[in-house]
């Protein structure tokens, strides 16, 4: 009789969210709504893009009649970019955003973020990646140092802890008991960094 195989583990998906210049004043309020909607903010940075950078970011829109206005608008002031994570992050974030035209969103999706914080079709308050592939591309554009690997969950996470974390931590605590340093927490932190068997796969960083 064949052994039963566990169900494949669903990895935590990531998407890019941008608070656009017209909604930057509502940053804290929007972040609170994001967190209460089940997302984790993995990375965050506040920046201002140049018109050239905006043109590169929206390269797929090049040639459309609204393209010059779009790049001028997106480079007109600071933005807040965030990498959001949760299961089915791309689709959930698109649903939370609502239609791209804020005027239509107020009619069809009055509780969506674009209905609440956008002005019109161009100045719609927030950006969201359209697909998993575009999310990866956009995250690399805004966060070039980002590591886009699936976040382990369930059994995969437990296997990782048992294989790497627990043995290393046990060895560190044993060495700590033998050494008995004056500053045990600092000593242990330094020891773990020095004896890390695997480079960290996740980076949680907020940069300005």
Q: Active-site residue numbers?
A: 127
Q: How far apart are CA 39 and CA 203, in angstroms?
A: 16
Cα distances (angstroms) measured from residue 38 to each of 28, 84, 103, 109? 16, 10, 26, 19
Question: What is the Cα–Cα distance from 36 to 34, expressed in whole angstroms?
Answer: 6
Measured between alpha carbons, how far is 128 from 134 in angstroms, rounded to an integer? 10
SS3 state at 22? helix
Q: How far apart are the first and last CA of the chain?
A: 57
Question: Using CA of residue 189, residue 193, residue 197, residue 200, what is the dihedral sign?
Answer: positive
């Amino acid at each position: 009789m064949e052994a039963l195989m566990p169900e494949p583990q669903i990895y935590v998906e990531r998407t890019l969210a941008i608070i656009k210049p017209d909604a930057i004043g509502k940053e804290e309020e929007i972040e609170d709504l994001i967190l209460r909607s089940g997302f984790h903010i993995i990375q965050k940075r506040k920046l201002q893009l140049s018109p050239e950078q905006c043109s590169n970011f929206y390269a797929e829109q090049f040639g459309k009649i609204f393209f010059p206005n779009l790049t001028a608008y997106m480079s007109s002031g600071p933005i807040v970019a965030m990498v959001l994570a949760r299961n089915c992050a791309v689709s959930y974030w698109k649903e939370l955003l609502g239609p791209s035209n804020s005027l239509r969103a107020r009619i069809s999706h009055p509780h969506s973020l674009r209905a609440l914080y956008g002005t019109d079709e161009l100045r719609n308050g927030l950006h969201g990646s359209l697909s998993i592939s575009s999310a990866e591309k956009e995250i690399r554009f805004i966060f070039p140092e980002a590591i886009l690997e699936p976040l382990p969950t369930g059994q995969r996470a437990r296997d990782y802890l048992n294989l790497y974390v627990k043995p290393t931590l046990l060895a560190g605590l044993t060495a700590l008991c033998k050494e008995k340093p004056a500053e045990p927490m600092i000593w242990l932190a330094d020891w773990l960094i020095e004896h890390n068997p695997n480079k960290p796969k996740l980076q949680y960083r907020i940069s300005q």
